[in-house]
Amino acid sequence: MSDAGAGVTGLVVVDKEAGWTSHDVVARCRRIFGQRRVGHAGTLDPDATGVLLVGLGRATRLLRFLTALPKTYTTDIVLGTATATLDASGVVLATYDMSHVTPADVAAAAAGLTGEIEQVPPMVSAVKVGGRRLHELAREGVEVERAARRVTVSRFATAPDPERPGVYRAEVVCSSGTYIRVLAEDLGQALGGGAHVANLRRTRIGSFGAADMHQLDAIGPDRVLTAAQGMRDLDAVTVDAATAASIRTGLPLDRVPLGAVGDGPWAMLDEAGELLAVYEATGSDRIRPAVVLAGSAGSAASAGSAGR
C-alpha cells in the first residue's frame, strides 16, 4: 500500500541473518523502499537469526502491537561454560564439570524456569539505565544494578544433542521481553554450574513464522503485507461505512453494537477488509482509538509502484 509523503505502508517479515543488527536490517529496508519511515518490532541480537518484523510507513505506528505478541525460539544450550555475553561470542568467564548432569536433570531444571518468572536483563542488552544502553556500558567495562522483570515462559523443552555431549537443543515459547541467554544462564546455575547459548534463532512472533519470512535479498514491494495482514493476530471487527467515517475522525465507539468482545486491542476493518485503526478498551463499554490510519491503508499490490 502507498502513503502520500510516507512511501509504502505495510509489513515485511525478514529472516535476519547472523552478523546483522536489527538496525542494519532497518537501514537496508530504507534503501530498498526508498523511504525513511521504517522500524522494527522486537530486537534480535547480531548473532541471532530468524523472524524480524519490519514496519513501513504508517505501519510503524502499529509495531507496538506486534512487539507484545508471544515469541518462539530455538537454541543450543551449552552446559559447562559461562561467558561474558551469555552466548558463544563472549569471553569465557568460568568452566564447570557438568558431566554428571542427565537429560532428566535438565528437563526438571527447565520446568522450574517455566511459567511466570523474574529475569534480570543482561549487561549486553539494549535496556536503558540512566539514559545509557546497557551494552554501551558493558563495552566500557561498567556494570550497573538492573531491576528484575517479570516474564512468562510458556514452554521450555530440552533434548540432548546425541553428537555433542553437554549440549541441549531447546525450544522456548515466551512473552515479549524474555531473554533466552538469561534463561540458559539460569538453567546452568540451577544445575550447579554455568551455561551459554549458541545458534539462537527466533522461529515465530505470534502467527508470523517460516511461511512468511524472506531473506533480505528477496525483500521488495511484492513481499509487503498490508496493514490489515500485519494486525492479523488481533481480534478483528468489520464496520459499515458510517462507522468507518467515525473511525477515520478518531471517535470513541460503543463496543457492544460492534461486537468487540474480549479485552482488545481490536483491528477495525472497513467492508473491503482494509485496516482503518486499532482500538483499545477503556474500562467501560466505550472503546477508543490507539492508532488511526485515517483510511490510508491499501492493498499490498499497490505497493509495487514504490521504487527501490
230 and 236 in contact (C-beta within 8 Å)?
no
How many whole angstroms separate alpha carbon 61 and alpha carbon 65? 9
Grouping H, G, I as helix, E, B as strand and the rest as coil, residue 187 is: helix
Residue 68: other Cβ atoms inside 10 A: 16
Query: What angle is formed at CA 95 by the lines to CA 89 and CA 101, rounded to 5 degrees?
Result: 110
How many whole angstroms separate alpha carbon 102 and alpha carbon 117? 24
Which residues are known catalytic residues? Answer: 45
216 and 14 in contact (C-beta within 8 Å)?
yes
110 and 187 in contact (C-beta within 8 Å)?
yes
Indicate the helix (H) or strand (E) that contains 84. Answer: none
β-sheet bridge partners, residue 301: none
Q: Who's near 196: CB < 8 A, 6+ residues apart?
A: 77, 78, 81, 82, 83, 85, 86, 87, 88, 90, 181, 184, 185, 188
Using CB atoms within 10 Å of the CB of residue 6, give its burial: 0 to 12 exposed, 13 to 18 middle, 19+ buried. middle
Beta strands in 122-194 (DSSP E): 128-129, 132-133, 149-160, 167-174
How many whole angstroms separate alpha carbon 209 and alpha carbon 236? 20
